[in-house]
């Protein structure tokens, strides 16, 4: 499983709860975080690099736990790696959940600029329910602020209110949290949207997809065992451990650092300008 930072740990948490007998390796590309304001070809190159590294290390299934990477690179990754391992990604699972959850056909999306610009959620929602309408809102700066690991403050409250305002105006009854960082501020977003709006995140949906693909491919581990998990990052391991513990809600243990291509700035456990 990989993500641009620690946000994908919210997905890993659900997999650990639902499939505790499996073994997991999580790679956080914290040296190049955030992906959301990068050009699509660059995100695609990063994603293919990370996915290939994990498969080369022996992964039996690959999870793209990053919405920006999924939007930019999923077809390319399935072409390059799909003959070696099943590839599971965000976007489609949440879109199917949103389509089944909405009562009025108005679905909101909170995501990074790159994810919104890709149109991936619009396509996925249309496939799940052609009659549903997507109202996307780009949220620049929200994921970096969450990754910084600070306490919720007035700045974050104002950001949530600002990003949610167009969705309230549109009358959506369901909102997809289109970034794996956003579940960490779910109560804040719920308050900004109102209690009648259902929030959809990727964690449980991905866990169900992983279980299904492992079963189909006959790759399931024995259920009478306790699986292991370990972590790799491209930035500072201590910062990854400190911030990641909050996201995973479990101890991380040792974190191995790797070098990646084209890493312009090290992750320092704070917002990246």
SS3 assignment for the chain = CEECCCCCHHHHHHHHHHCCCCCEEEEECCCCCCCCCCCHHHHHHHHHHHHHHHHHCCCCCEEECCHHHHHHHHHHHHHHHCCCCCEEECCHHHHHHHHHHCCCCEEEEEECHHHHHHCHHHHHHHHHCCCCEEEEEECCCHHHHHHCCCCCCHHHHHHHHHHHHHHHHHCCCEEEEECCCHHHHHHHHHHHHCCCCEEECCHHHHHHHHHHHHHHCCCCCCCCCCCCEEEEECCCHHHHHHHHHHHHCCCCCCEEECCCCCCCCCCCCCCCC
**Which residue is catalytic, options 15, 139, 164, 179?**
179
Q: Is 139 a catalytic residue?
A: no
Q: Is 179 a catalytic residue?
A: yes
Handedness of CA 35, 37, 178, 85 (dihedral sign): negative
**Which residue is catalytic, options 66, 139, 164, 233?**
66
Tell me the catalytic residues. Answer: 66, 179
């Amino acid at each position: 499983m990989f993500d641009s930072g620690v946000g994908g740990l919210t997905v890993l948490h659900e997999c650990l709860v639902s499939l505790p007998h499996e073994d997991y390796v999580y790679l956080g590309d914290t040296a190049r975080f955030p992906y959301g304001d990068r050009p699509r070809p660059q995100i695609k190159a990063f994603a293919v690099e990370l996915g290939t590294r994990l498969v080369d290390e022996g992964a039996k299934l690959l999870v793209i736990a990053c919405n920006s990477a999924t939007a930019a690179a999923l077809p390319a990754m399935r072409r390059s790696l799909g003959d070696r391992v099943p590839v599971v990604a965000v976007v489609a699972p949440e879109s199917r959940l949103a389509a089944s959850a909405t009562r009025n056909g108005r679905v909101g999306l909170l995501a990074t600029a790159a994810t919104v610009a890709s149109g991936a959620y619009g396509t996925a929602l249309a496939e799940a329910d052609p009659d549903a309408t997507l109202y996307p809102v780009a949220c620049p700066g929200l994921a970096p602020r969450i990754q910084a690991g600070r306490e919720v403050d007035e700045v974050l409250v104002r950001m949530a209110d600002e990003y949610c305002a167009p969705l309230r105006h549109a009358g959506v009854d369901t909102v997809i949290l289109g970034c794996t960082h956003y579940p960490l501020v779910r109560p804040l977003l719920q308050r900004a949207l109102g209690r009648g709006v259902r929030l959809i995140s990727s964690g449980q949906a991905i866990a169900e997809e992983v279980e299904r693909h492992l079963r189909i491919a006959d790759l399931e581990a024995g259920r009478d065992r306790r699986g292991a998990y370990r972590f790799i990052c491209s930035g500072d391991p201590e910062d990854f451990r400190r911030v990641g513990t909050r996201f995973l809600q479990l101890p991380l243990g040792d974190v191995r650092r790797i070098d990646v291509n084209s890493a312009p700035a090290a992750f320092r456990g704070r917002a990246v300008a």
